[in-house]
Amino acid sequence: MPKPHGFAYEAHPNGTVHITHHNRPATTLNGDRAARFLTEVTTTDPQLVMARWTGNYKRGNERTARDHPRNRG
């Protein structure tokens, strides 16, 4: 499975954290959740932490799903 990439976050003075993926909003964290996220993101791989907190995991089936007749335009 490839490593997650393209995530970024901004911590604001009011305690809010905005997480983006390829410059698109992914999620916003407030209060206790934001504090726990900031603690975790500084101790381990930030890209993996942000992927987990946003629920944006690569599952390996994206190419297969894209080519399925139901998903073709």
pTM: 0.71
In the chain, the largest separation of any two C-alpha atoms, in whole Å, equals 48
Residues 22-69 have pLDDT tens digits of 999 999 999 999 999 999 999 989 998 998 898 865 555 556 666 777
Residue 11, pLDDT > 80, answer yes
- pLDDT confidence of residue 5: 82
Residue 13, pLDDT > 60, answer yes
What is the distance between the alpha carbons of residues 18 and 16, in angstroms, rounded to a whole number? 7
- pLDDT confidence of residue 30: 96
